[in-house]
């Protein structure tokens, strides 16, 4: 008789963060028979609507975090801005994936760029500054124009400014210290004249075996990811080099889990790693499932969430290959679409006219806000330009003004 059938080595997984990424990871873990506990300070976190084991407590609540860690076999996170000081105390007791030093490196844009420098990964020229006066002084020596970012805590373009002249330098100094802080770690980066933004996800297990996803092409609007196209419109040698860089980064950080590398592709001659007529730069890393990786749920033989679930459960990976010829595209659905339509629901009846849209995912967020990621969809088309057109067409159809409003 089999006393307690178990299909995985590690059965209890803790996820820090109950947003859409944590929720979809939980879905992949449940498929493997794992138990999942989530932790999120937000009582309206999407995971709460769907899953029972959600702890609602602050990131700084040591007692709640200690209890959370004591009830699972392995912990991972969907959001790299969790407080590392508390986690450091707790992470010794059980595996913490993709790793504590991965977390502390990717929480700090300066640490990321220094890691790139140390491991020969191509990146934009950068410099550090830590107060408003230093920003002005270092900035002038660095040379205008540049982008200045807070080293910690920014996302979706928040906490960064473009400096092109003395006036914008003053504005940036005022803006980045508007909260009255005297000091704050900043990074100044040369502006990369990119022709494409891309990302590449690596899944790597505890034995160092790694799988590299196809390269995604990413398009941002107002600093928020708008669509992701796969395969990226790059010559094969450039895509291969991008995958090699992403793999090197995952190895350099000894990632056990997922690492997403955000990349810039520019024309050769602008620095970076030259491949033919192109040059590649690392922009930043995300040690977790990535918004651009939603496309893998529909486009590849292995999704980013299934890959991470397998690693957490110590199950073997398989190679993520594209499921079909042609192009897949993921379009984000932002809160603006609901606000413009002026109704609680989008016009999903229009989906009938869009057979190219294979999948729609809604995260169950209880309030639409401008720029807020509410869901996404994935479409397939014979070629990239048709795929990109499909994003705008489907959004237009979904967001039509509400008949009553």
Ligand X SMILES: Nc1ncnc2c1ncn2[C@@H]1O[C@H](COP(=O)(O)OP(=O)(O)O)[C@@H](O)[C@H]1O
Q: Where do contacts with Mg ion occur on this chain (CB under 5 A)?
A: 262
Q: How far is the CB of 70 from ligand X (least distance, A)?
A: 32
Q: How far is the CB of 293 from ligand X (least distance, A)?
A: 14
Contacted by 155, from ligand X, Mg ion, none: CB < 5 to 8 Å by type: ligand X
Contacted by 348, from Mg ion, ligand X, none: CB < 5 to 8 Å by type: none
What is the rounded distance in angstroms from the CA atom of residue 375 to the CA atom of residue 20? 8
Contacted by 387, from ligand X, Mg ion, none: CB < 5 to 8 Å by type: none
Instruction: Choose between 26 and 176: whose C-beta lies nearer to Mg ion.
Output: 176
Instruction: Choose between 37 and 330: whose C-beta lies nearer to ligand X.
Output: 330
Contacted by 271, from Mg ion, ligand X, none: CB < 5 to 8 Å by type: none
Residue 375 CB neighbour total at 10 angstroms: 21
Q: How far is the CB of 146 from ligand X (least distance, A)?
A: 8
Instruction: Choose between 354 and 372: whose C-beta lies nearer to ligand X.
Output: 372
* Sign, CA torsion 158/162/168/172: positive
Q: How far is the CB of 331 from ligand X (least distance, A)?
A: 17
The helix/strand/coil state of 204 is strand
Q: How far is the CB of 122 from ligand X (least distance, A)?
A: 12
The DSSP output letter for 386 is H
Q: Which of 220, 231, 239, 227 is nearest to 278 (CA)?
A: 239
Instruction: Choose between 40 and 112: whose C-beta lies nearer to Mg ion.
Output: 112
Binding site for ligand X (CB under 6 A): 124, 147, 154-157, 189, 191-192, 197, 220, 223, 262, 283-284
Q: Which of 75, 78, 72 is nearest to 24 (CA)?
A: 78
Contacted by 191, from ligand X, Mg ion, none: CB < 5 to 8 Å by type: ligand X
**Which residue do the tokens 């976190």 mark?**
45
Q: How far is the CB of 186 from ligand X (least distance, A)?
A: 13
Contacted by 371, from ligand X, Mg ion, none: CB < 5 to 8 Å by type: none
Instruction: Choose between 189 and 262: whose C-beta lies nearer to Mg ion.
Output: 262
Element (H, E) at 168: helix 166-176
The DSSP output letter for 289 is -
Instruction: Choose between 217 and 262: whose C-beta lies nearer to ligand X.
Output: 262
Instruction: Choose between 76 and 261: whose C-beta lies nearer to ligand X.
Output: 261
Contacted by 226, from Mg ion, ligand X, none: CB < 5 to 8 Å by type: none
Q: How far is the CB of 16 from ligand X (least distance, A)?
A: 18
Contacted by 108, from Mg ion, ligand X, none: CB < 5 to 8 Å by type: none
Instruction: Choose between 127 and 262: whose C-beta lies nearer to Mg ion.
Output: 262
Angle between helices 304-312 and 20-31 (to 10 degrees): 60
Angle between helices 236-252 and 109-118 (to 10 degrees): 110
278-281: Cβ within 8 A, 24+ apart: 278/234, 278/235, 278/238, 279/122, 280/122, 280/238, 280/241, 280/242, 280/245, 281/122, 281/123, 281/124, 281/192, 281/194
DSSP state string for 79-148: -TTS-HHHHHHHTTTS-BSS-HHHHHHHT-HHHHHHHHHHTT--B--EEEE-SHHHHHHHHHHH-SSEEE
Q: How far is the CB of 8 from Mg ion (least distance, A)?
A: 33
The DSSP output letter for 300 is B
């Amino acid at each position: 008789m089999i006393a307690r059938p178990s299909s995985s080595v590690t059965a209890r997984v803790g996820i820090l963060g109950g947003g859409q990424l944590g929720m979809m990871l939980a879905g992949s873990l449940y498929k493997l028979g794992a138990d999942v506990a989530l932790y999120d300070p937000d009582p309206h976190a999407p995971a709460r609507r769907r899953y029972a084991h959600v702890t609602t407590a602050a990131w700084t609540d040591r007692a709640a975090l200690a209890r959370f860690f004591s009830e699972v076999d392995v912990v991972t996170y969907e959001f790299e801005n969790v407080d590392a000081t508390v986690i450091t105390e707790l992470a010794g007791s059980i595996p913490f994936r993709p790793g504590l030093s991965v977390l502390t490196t990717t929480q700090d844009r300066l640490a990321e760029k220094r890691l790139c420098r140390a491991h020969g990964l191509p990146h934009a020229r950068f410099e550090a500054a830590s107060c408003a006066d230093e920003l002005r002084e270092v900035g002038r020596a660095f040379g205008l124009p540049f982008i200045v970012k807070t080293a910690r805590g920014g996302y979706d373009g928040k906490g960064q400014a473009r400096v092109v002249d003395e006036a914008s330098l003053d504005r940036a100094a005022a803006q980045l210290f508007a909260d009255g802080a005297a000091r704050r770690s900043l990074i100044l980066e040369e502006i990369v004249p990119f022709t494409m933004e891309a990302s590449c996800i690596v899944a790597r297990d505890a034995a160092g075996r790694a799988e590299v996803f196809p390269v995604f092409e990413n398009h941002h609007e107002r600093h928020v990811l708008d669509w992701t196209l796969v395969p990226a419109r790059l010559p094969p040698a450039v895509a291969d080099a991008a995958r090699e860089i992403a793999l090197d980064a995952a190895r350099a950080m000894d990632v056990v889990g997922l690492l997403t590398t955000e990349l810039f592709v520019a024309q050769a001659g602008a620095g970076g790693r030259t491949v033919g007529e192109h040059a590649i730069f690392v922009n930043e890393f995300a040690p977790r499932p990535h918004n651009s990786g939603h496309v893998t749920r529909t486009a590849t033989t292995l999704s980013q969430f299934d890959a991470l679930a397998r690693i957490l459960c110590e199950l073997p990976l398989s190679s993520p290959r594209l499921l079909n010829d042609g192009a897949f595209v993921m379009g984000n659905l932002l809160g603006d679409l609901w606000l413009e339509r002026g109704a609680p629901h989008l016009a999903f009846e229009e989906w009938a006219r869009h057979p190219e849209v294979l999948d729609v995912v809604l995260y169950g967020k209880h309030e639409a806000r401008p720029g807020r990621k509410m869901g996404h969809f994935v479409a397939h088309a014979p070629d990239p330009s048709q795929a990109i057109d499909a994003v705008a067409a489907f959004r237009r159809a979904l967001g039509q003004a509400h008949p009553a409003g």
